Amino acid sequence: MKLFLTMDAKKIRASLTAGFCGYLLLSASLCFPHSPKMELELGELKFVLPQFTGPYREREANISPEEYEMAEQLKLLLEENDKQKVIEVLEGYYDIELSPAMLTLKAQVYFSMEMLEEAEETFLEVLSRKPQLIRVHADLGQLYLYREQNEQARQHFAKAVAYGSNEAIVHGQLAYLNLQLKGPYTAISEYQQAIALEPDNWQWHQGLLSALSQAGMYESAAALVTELLGKRPHNASLWLTKAALSLRSEQKMEALSSLEIAILLGEKNQNNLRTAAQLHLQLGSYNRAIELLNESLDTAMLSMQSINEYLVWLLELGLWNEADQLLLKTEARLSEFSLDDQSNFYWHRAKIDSKLNKSAGADIHFSKALELSPNNGFALLDYAEFKLKQGSFVNAELLYIRAEAIDETHKDAILGRAQLYLNTKDYTSALVQLRNAYVRYPELATLKENIEIVENIITAAQIERN
């Protein structure tokens, strides 16, 4: 006799996430020296614990003959979904009086009523009598998964598989937990087994794709994505995954094509729009890059970090007017940003003014940037260069000295000050700077040659004076 137990899906459904290492971030550097890496942010894969349902299987344990009458009574109660009455009947017996089959039913009903401690205790009692019962290991694994006791859940799913379970959900759950706890290689075969048993279950395909990607098996992952796209050509997340894999393989045009399809299908993630714009900029399609930039500005409140990245790309490509327009759109939100971010805003503003020959505006905005953040090293460097071009050598020297005190700008600052001394024919000071730079940065091959040139100039001047 089979006793069927169906649980309330709302009560037992739990959502767990299995991401591409949280997110699959496949990156490739741009040619720009200060540009960030391109990366695509894929949506998290969702592992949904299915509702607990299904018969207690006779092949695993049989009820004893004296329990047939009670089984008929319980079957009627279960059909009426009167779980409380089922528990009352079963609790009228000592556990030792019940067969493993009836004890399992009792544990299932506890589980369905979210009496989790009672369910766990009863499942374990069943296993103490019959340690190889597949259904009980699977149910107990599911209970632990629901309680987020993942290692214990994994152990019981593994035992269910070892004892012969051929249920796709058990293989899939074991694959998911292996992916989380033991690494991608331990998950691949289990996901493949789940797919073999349930080839139309989208969750198993997503899990396999995640495992292949995490394992670095990009060709296999790409082949799977192509197969899945044949079945679901309008799935934006699959196109994003295809773009990420192409980007990982340095196939930037293909990555951009896939990313554009995802955007066409409704992808609005800020990071992914930024990556698309970055790819367009690198591949020379500036109009589309600006269009994406404007779209992200219109549809999301960009962080200053994102704005800075956009500005770096635009300025390095010489798209001054576009950078100017971006700053104008940002200015209304300036008070929302930190002082460091506001400093960066005025730094970019000053660079654009300088390039457009608006010297007065550049001077004002450089000063404002350093007023807001005195240790903004890149603003110090650019302001020093601006002052050097204006012939304000003392101010330029002071700015370079300040920039030298900051690690991230030390190298450019020490070389900048050397150039200043060369421009003013202060060769002795220039030689000191170049020697200091060579001690600190011996990998700069041209420094030694420049030192020799300056030494020769100084020697020649001394000979001439004598």
Strands 15-17, 53-55: pairing kind:
unpaired
What tokens does 357 get?
């020959």
The CA-based dihedral angle spanning residues 171, 174, 176, 177, taken in that order and rounded to the nearest 10 degrees: 180
Examine the pLDDT at 32 and tell me if it is beyond 50.
Answer: no
Amino acid at 244: A
Residue 15 — very low, low, confident or very high, per pLDDT cuts 50/70/90? very low
Average pLDDT over residues 222-248: 91
What tokens does 281 get?
């900029």
Q: What is the pLDDT of residue 48?
A: 40
- Which is more confident, 294 or 424? 424
Q: What is the pLDDT of residue 402?
A: 96
Residue 16 — very low, low, confident or very high, per pLDDT cuts 50/70/90? very low
Separation between Cα atoms, residue 172 and residue 180, nearest integer Å = 12
Residue with tokens 């009228």: 92
Q: What is the pLDDT of residue 313?
A: 79
Examine the pLDDT at 28 and tell me if it is beyond 50.
Answer: no
Q: What is the pLDDT of residue 40?
A: 56
In Å, what is the CA distance from 350 to each residue of 321, 344, 370, 421?
13, 10, 11, 25
Examine the pLDDT at 36 and tell me if it is beyond 50.
Answer: no
Q: What is the pLDDT of residue 330?
A: 82
- Which is more confident, 69 or 33? 69
Average pLDDT over residues 4-8: 36
DSSP H or E run through 443: none
Domain range 375-466, CATH architecture: Alpha Horseshoe (1.25)
Q: What is the pLDDT of residue 154?
A: 95
Inter-helix orientation angle 377-390/410-423, to 10°: 10
Average pLDDT over residues 244-259: 90
DSSP track, 385-422: HHHHHHT-HHHHHHHHHHHHTSGGGHHHHHHHHHHHHH
Cβ neighbours of residue 327 closer than 8 Å, sequence gap 6 or more? 311, 345, 348, 349, 352
Q: What are the backbone angles phi and psi of residue 164, rounded to the nearest 5°?
A: 115, 15
Longest dimension (CA), the chain: 124
Average pLDDT over residues 250-259: 92
1-215 and 217-300: identical CATH topology: yes
- Between 68-82, 162-176, 234-248, 388-402, the lowest mean confidence (pLDDT) is in 68-82
Q: Are 286 and 277 in contact (CB under 8 A)?
A: no
Q: What is the pLDDT of residue 405?
A: 94
Q: What b/e readout covers 325-350, taking b as 16+ CB neighbours within 10 angstroms?
A: bbbeebeeeeeebeeebbbbbbbbbb
pLDDT in tens, 303-346: 777 778 778 878 887 888 888 888 888 888 888 889 999 999 99
- Between 223-227, 295-299, 322-326, 424-428, the lowest mean confidence (pLDDT) is in 295-299
Spans of all domains in the chain? 1-215, 217-300, 375-466
Examine the pLDDT at 201 and tell me if it is beyond 50.
Answer: yes
- Between 12-26, 88-102, 208-222, 424-438, the lowest mean confidence (pLDDT) is in 12-26
How many C-beta neighbours within 10 Å does residue 305 have?
Answer: 11
Q: Is 9 helix (H, G, I), strand (E, B) or coil?
A: helix
Residue 387 — very low, low, confident or very high, per pLDDT cuts 50/70/90? very high
pLDDT in tens, 289-300: 888 877 766 544
DSSP H or E run through 263: helix 252-264
Question: What are residue 38's DSSP bridge partners?
Answer: 28
What tokens does 412 get?
């450019």
Residue 432 — very low, low, confident or very high, per pLDDT cuts 50/70/90? very high
Q: End-to-end CA distance of the chain: give it in Å, rounded.
A: 117
Amino acid at 37: K
Class of 1-215 in CATH: mainly alpha
Q: What is the pLDDT of residue 12?
A: 29
DSSP track, 18-40: --STTS----B--SSTTPPPB--
Helix-strand-coil split of the chain, %, nearest 5: 70, 5, 25
Cβ neighbours of residue 71 closer than 8 Å, sequence gap 6 or more? 1, 3, 63, 102
Q: Evaluate whether the domain defined by 217-300 bears CATH number 1.10.40.30.
A: no
Examine the pLDDT at 8 and tell me if it is beyond 60.
Answer: no
Examine the pLDDT at 415 and tell me if it is beyond 90.
Answer: yes
Query: Mean pLDDT over all residues of the chain?
Result: 81
Cβ neighbours of residue 443 closer than 8 Å, sequence gap 6 or more? none
Q: Is 423 helix (H, G, I), strand (E, B) or coil?
A: helix
Share of the chain above pLDDT 70, in %: 83
Tell how far CA 110 is from the center of its chain: 39
How many C-beta neighbours within 10 Å does residue 441 have?
Answer: 13
Separation between Cα atoms, residue 116 and residue 109, nearest integer Å = 10
Residue 139 — very low, low, confident or very high, per pLDDT cuts 50/70/90? very high
Q: What is the pLDDT of residue 112?
A: 82
Examine the pLDDT at 3 and tell me if it is beyond 50.
Answer: no
